[in-house]
Amino acid sequence: MTSRLGIDVGGTFTDLLLFDERSGAIRLLKTPSTPADQSVGILDGIQQLIEETGIAASEVAALLHGTTVSTNIVLEEKGAKVGLLVTEGFEQVLHLARSQTPGPLAGWIIMQKPDPLADLELTRGIRERINARGDVVTPLDEASARQAVRELIELGAESITVSLLHSYANPQHEQRIKAIVEEIEPEMPVSLSSEILPEFREYERTLVTVMNAYVRPSMRRYLSGFEEKLHRVQFQPSVNIVRSDGGLMSVERASQSPVHTMLSGPAGGVSGAAFMATLAGYPRALGFDMGGTSTDVSLIQDGKPTISRQTSIGYYPIKVPSVDVHSVGAGGGSIAHVPMTGALRVGPQSAGAVPGPACYGKGGDQPTVTDANVVLGRLPPQLLGGKMLLDAKAAEEAVGKVARALSLDVHQAAQGILDIVNENMFGALRLVTVQKGLDPRDFALVAFGGAGPLHGNAMGMLAGCYPTIVPPTPGVLSALGFLYSDVKNEFAQTFVRNIDDADVSQIGEILSKLGRDARTWLGEEGIDESQQRLSYEADVRYFRQGYEFSLEIDPNRLGGGALHELAARFGLAHERIYGFKLDQPVELVNLRAVGVGAVQKINLPKFEKEGPDAAAAVVEQHRAYFDGSFSSVNVYDRTRLRTGNRIRGPAIVIQMDATTVIHPNHTGEVDEYLNILIRPDQAS
Amino acid sequence: MTNLSPLSSAVTFDDLLKANKKQFDQIFTAQTKELGLIGASRLPPMSADLVSASVSSEAVGQPLDLYAMLNDRFGSRWSSEVVEHKTERGSVTVLCKLTVNGSSKMQFGSARANGDEGAALRRATEVALRNCVDMFGDNTATEARAELPAVTRPSVGRASGAVRGQEMAVPPTPRPKESRRLDTVSLDLIENALRNARHEMDAVLFRSAMSPVIREQHDEFPMITDAQGRMIVGQFGSYVANMLAERNFDLEPGDVILQSDPYKCGGAISHINDWMVLVPVFHQGDLVGFTSMFGHMMDVGGSVPGSMPTAAASIFGEGLRIPPIKLYERGVINKAVLDLIMNNTRTPEMNYSDLMAIVAGCRAGEKRVVEICGRFGRDTYRQACDALLDRTNRAMRKLIVQNLPEEPKSFEDYVDDDGRGNGPFKMKLTVWREGDNAYFDWTGTAPQAPGPINFYLHEGMFKMFIGVYMIMVFDPQILFNDGFYDLIHVTMPKGSLVQPDFPAPLGCRTHTLSRQFDVLGGALSYNAPEMATAAGYGSSPHFLYSGVDKAGRPFQLMEILYGGIPGRPIGDGMDGHSWWPLFENIPSEYLETYYPLLIEHYSSIPDTGGAGKHRGGNGVEKVYLLLEEGEISIHDDRHLTPPWGILGGRPGTCSEKWLVRKDGTRQPLPAKADNVRVHAGDRVIFRTAGGGGWGDPLERDPQRTRNDVARKLMSEAKARQEYGVVLSGSGLDVDRRATDELRDSMRRNRKPAKLFDFGERKAAPRTAHVG
Q: How confident is the model at residue A457 (pLDDT cuts 50, 70, 90)?
A: very high
Give the list of residues 6+ apart from residue B140 with CB closer than 8 angstroms, or none. B74, B100, B101, B103
Specify whether A56 is located in the same domain as A114.
no
Instruction: Show which of A574, A597, A620 is a domain's final residue.
Output: A597
Q: Which CATH number does the domain housing residue A510 bear?
A: 3.30.1490
Taking a C-beta distance cutoff of 8 angstroms, is the pair B385, B289 a contact?
Answer: yes
Q: What is the largest CA-CA distance in chain A?
A: 82
What CATH number labels B184-393? 3.30.450
- Tens of pLDDT, residue by residue over B207-241, are 777 776 676 666 677 899 999 888 898 876 667 87
CB contacts, 8 Å: B402 with chain A:
none
Q: How many CB pairs under 8 A join A and B?
A: 259
Q: How confident is the model at residue A548 (pLDDT cuts 50, 70, 90)?
A: confident
Specify whether A5 is located in the same domain as A136.
no
Specify whether A138 is located in the same domain as A202.
yes
Q: How confident is the model at residue A573 (pLDDT cuts 50, 70, 90)?
A: confident
**Inter-chain touch A547–B23, beta carbons under 8 Å:** no
Give the list of residues 6+ apart from residue B38 with CB closer than 8 angstroms, or none. B29, B32, B45, B46, B49
Is residue A669 in some structural domain? no
Give the residue-averaged pLDDT of B190-205.
Answer: 86
Specify whether A5 is located in the same domain as A106.
no
Mean pLDDT (chain B) is: 81
User: Lowest-pLDDT range, A100-114, B19-33, B203-217?
Assistant: B19-33
Specify the amino acid at residue B249. F
Residue closest to A355 by CA, chosen among A299, A306, A394: A394
Please give the tally of structural domains in chain A: 3
- pLDDT of A546 > 80? The answer is no
CB contacts, 8 Å: B196 with chain A:
423, 426-427, 430-431
Taking a C-beta distance cutoff of 8 angstroms, is the pair B459, B243 a contact?
Answer: no
Q: Where exactly are the structural domains of chain B?
A: 6-172, 184-393, 533-696+753-771
% of chain B at pLDDT higher than 70: 80
Distance CA A289, CA A10 (A): 13
* B19 and A CB contact within 8 Å: yes
% of chain B at pLDDT higher than 90: 50
Q: How many helices (H) and strands (E) does chain A have?
A: 16, 35
User: Lowest-pLDDT range, A15-24, A116-125, A599-608, B1-10?
Assistant: B1-10
Strand extents, DSSP E, A213-323: 238-242, 248-250, 285-290, 295-301, 304-305, 307-308, 311-313, 316-318, 322-323
Phi/psi of residue A621, nearest 5 degrees? -110, 145
Specify the amino acid at residue B439. Y
Phi/psi of residue B684, nearest 5 degrees? -115, 130
Residue closest to B125 by CA, chosen among B166, B83, B158: B83
Torsion of CA B188, B194, B196, B201, to 10 degrees: -170
pTM of structure: 0.81
Phi/psi of residue A497, nearest 5 degrees? -145, 140
Mean pLDDT (chain A) is: 90
Specify whether A209 is located in the same domain as A112.
yes
Candidate from A106, A423, A580 with C-beta closest to B472: A106
Specify whether A526 is located in the same domain as A591.
yes
According to the model, what pLDDT value does residue A236 have?
83
Distance CA A393, CA A399 (A): 10
CB contacts, 8 Å: B600 with chain A:
89
A455/A246: higher pLDDT: A455
Specify whether A188 is located in the same domain as A86.
yes
Taking a C-beta distance cutoff of 8 angstroms, is the pair A79, A189 a contact?
Answer: no
Q: Which CATH number does the domain housing residue A21 bear?
A: 3.30.420.40
Distance CA B686, CA B658 (A): 7
What separation, in Å, do the N-terminal and C-terminal C-alpha atoms of chain B show? 81
Burial B263-292 (b: 16+ CB within 10 A, else e): bbbbbbbbbbbbbbbbbbbbbeeeebbbbb
- pLDDT of B70 > 80? The answer is no
Q: How confident is the model at residue B168 (pLDDT cuts 50, 70, 90)?
A: very low
DSSP letter for each residue of B191-217: HHHHHHHHHHHHHHHHHH--SHHHHTT
- Tens of pLDDT, residue by residue over A290-334, are 988 889 999 999 998 998 888 888 889 998 889 999 888 899 999
CB contacts, 8 Å: A339 with chain B:
20, 161, 477
- Tens of pLDDT, residue by residue over A120-141, are 999 999 999 999 999 999 999 9
Specify whether A5 is located in the same domain as A105.
no
Residue closest to A257 by CA, chosen among A339, A195, A305: A195
Task: Kindly tell me the sign of the dihedral angle through the C-alpha atoms of A407, A410, A415, A418.
Answer: positive
User: Lowest-pLDDT range, A531-540, B69-78, B594-603?
Assistant: B69-78
- pLDDT of B301 > 60? The answer is yes
According to the model, what pLDDT value does residue B334 have?
95
DSSP letter for each residue of B460-529: HHHHHHHHHHHHHHH-TTS--SGGGGGGEEEE--TTBTTBPPTT---TTTHHHHHHHHHHHHHHHTSS-G
Q: Residue A197, class by beta-carbon neighbours within 10 Å (0-12 exposed, 13-18 middle, 19+ buried)?
A: buried
Instruction: Show which of A570, A597, A624 is a domain's final residue.
Output: A597
Taking a C-beta distance cutoff of 8 angstroms, is the pair B518, B413 a contact?
Answer: yes
Burial A25-38 (b: 16+ CB within 10 A, else e): ebbbbbbebeeeeb
Give the list of residues 6+ apart from residue B383 with CB closer than 8 angstroms, or none. B154, B156, B157
Report the SS3 class of residue B88: strand
Q: Which DSSP letter does residue A3 get?
A: E
Give the list of residues 6+ apart from residue B76 with CB closer than 8 angstroms, or none. B148, B149, B152, B153, B169, B170, B171
Is residue A433 in some structural domain? no
- pLDDT of B554 > 70? The answer is yes
Residue of chain A whose alpha carbon sits nearest to that of B9: A404
Specify whether A158 is located in the same domain as A48.
no
Strand extents, DSSP E, A194-313: 238-242, 248-250, 285-290, 295-301, 304-305, 307-308, 311-313
Distance CA B652, CA B565 (A): 10
- pLDDT of B363 > 60? The answer is yes
**Inter-chain touch B473–A419, beta carbons under 8 Å:** no
**Inter-chain touch B581–A423, beta carbons under 8 Å:** no
Highest mean pLDDT among B40-49, B200-209, B605-614: B605-614
- pLDDT of A19 > 90? The answer is no
Report the SS3 class of residue A452: helix
According to the model, what pLDDT value does residue A616 have?
95
Strand B630-635 and strand B672-678: pairing?
antiparallel
Taking a C-beta distance cutoff of 8 angstroms, is the pair B361, B201 a contact?
Answer: yes
Residue of chain A whose alpha carbon sits nearest to that of B555: A544
Specify whether A35 is located in the same domain as A82.
no
ipTM: 0.86
Distance CA A511, CA A553 (A): 10
Specify the amino acid at residue A89. G
According to the model, what pLDDT value does residue A190 have?
93
CA distances to A436, B252, B549, B633, B743 from B675, rounded to whole Å, are: 41, 46, 17, 6, 50
**Inter-chain touch B589–A200, beta carbons under 8 Å:** yes
Give the residue-averaged pLDDT of A446-467.
Answer: 95
Residue A266: cis peptide before it, omega within 30 degrees of 0: no
Is residue A676 in some structural domain? no
Shortest CA gap A118–chain B (Å): 11
What is the H or E stretch that residue A581 is in?
Answer: none
Distance CA A269, CA A480 (A): 8
Distance CA A537, CA B57 (A): 80
According to the model, what pLDDT value does residue A399 have?
97
Q: How confident is the model at residue B29 (pLDDT cuts 50, 70, 90)?
A: very low
Candidate from A92, A345, A408 with C-beta closest to B604: A92
According to the model, what pLDDT value does residue B478 have?
67
According to the model, what pLDDT value does residue A95 have?
98
CB neighbourhood size of A569 (10 A):
15
Give the residue-averaged pLDDT of A67-92.
Answer: 92
According to the model, what pLDDT value does residue A25 have?
81
Is residue A509 in some structural domain? yes
- Tens of pLDDT, residue by residue over B93-145, are 777 777 776 677 777 777 777 766 667 777 777 777 877 777 676 554 433 33
CA distances to A384, A550, B691, B755 from B641, rounded to whole Å, are: 71, 49, 12, 17
% of chain A at pLDDT higher than 90: 56
* B558 and A CB contact within 8 Å: no
What is the H or E stretch that residue B330 is in?
Answer: none
What percentage of chain B's residues is helix, strand, coil (to nearest 5)?
Answer: 35, 20, 45
Distance CA A489, CA B670 (A): 53
* B12 and A CB contact within 8 Å: yes
CB contacts, 8 Å: A423 with chain B:
189, 192-193, 196
Taking a C-beta distance cutoff of 8 angstroms, is the pair B272, B506 a contact?
Answer: yes
Is residue A199 in some structural domain? yes
User: Lowest-pLDDT range, A64-68, B39-43, B469-473?
Assistant: B39-43
Specify whether A590 is located in the same domain as A529.
yes
Q: How confident is the model at residue A641 (pLDDT cuts 50, 70, 90)?
A: very high
CB contacts, 8 Å: B589 with chain A:
132, 165-166, 200-202
User: Lowest-pLDDT range, A480-494, B44-58, B181-195?
Assistant: B44-58
Phi/psi of residue B509, nearest 5 degrees? -80, -5
Specify the amino acid at residue A512. S
Q: How confident is the model at residue B734 (pLDDT cuts 50, 70, 90)?
A: very high
- Tens of pLDDT, residue by residue over B664-716, are 999 999 999 988 999 999 999 999 999 999 999 999 999 999 999 999 999 99
Shortest CA gap A106–chain B (Å): 6
- Tens of pLDDT, residue by residue over A166-219, are 999 999 999 999 999 999 999 999 999 998 988 889 999 999 999 999 999 999
Give CA angle at A648 (A647, A651), nearest 5°: 80
Instruction: Show which of A35, A66, A97 is a domain's final residue.
Output: A66
CB contacts, 8 Å: A208 with chain B:
none
Distance CA B690, CA B250 (A): 51
According to the model, what pLDDT value does residue B346 have?
87
Is residue A10 in some structural domain? yes
Specify whether A38 is located in the same domain as A102.
no
Residue closest to A185 by CA, chosen among A148, A216, A221: A148
Strand A123-126 and strand A82-87: pairing?
parallel
Shortest CA gap B452–chain A (Å): 24
Report the SS3 class of residue B655: coil
Taking a C-beta distance cutoff of 8 angstroms, is the pair A671, A446 a contact?
Answer: no
**Inter-chain touch A423–B192, beta carbons under 8 Å:** yes
Give the list of residues 6+ apart from residue B156 with CB closer than 8 angstroms, or none. B183, B186, B187, B380, B383, B384, B386, B387
User: Lowest-pLDDT range, A667-681, B256-270, B331-345, B436-450?
Assistant: B256-270
Q: How confident is the model at residue B75 (pLDDT cuts 50, 70, 90)?
A: low
CB neighbourhood size of A503 (10 A):
9
Give CA angle at B563 (B557, B566), nearest 5°: 155
**Inter-chain touch B184–A582, beta carbons under 8 Å:** no
Q: How confident is the model at residue B545 (pLDDT cuts 50, 70, 90)?
A: very high
* B8 and A CB contact within 8 Å: no
Write B110-119 long-range contacts (CB < 8 A, 24+): B110/B47, B110/B50, B110/B51, B110/B54, B110/B57, B111/B57, B112/B51, B112/B57, B113/B87, B114/B90, B117/B13, B117/B87, B117/B92, B118/B7, B118/B8, B118/B12, B118/B13
Chain-centre distance for alpha carbon B352: 30
A440/B247: higher pLDDT: A440
Give the residue-averaged pLDDT of B528-547.
Answer: 90
- Tens of pLDDT, residue by residue over B467-517, are 888 877 776 666 678 888 899 999 999 999 999 999 999 999 999 999 999
Q: Which CATH number does the domain housing residue A207 bear?
A: 3.40.50
Report the SS3 class of residue A95: helix
Shortest CA gap B580–chain A (Å): 6
What is the domain extent for residue A7? Answer: 1-66
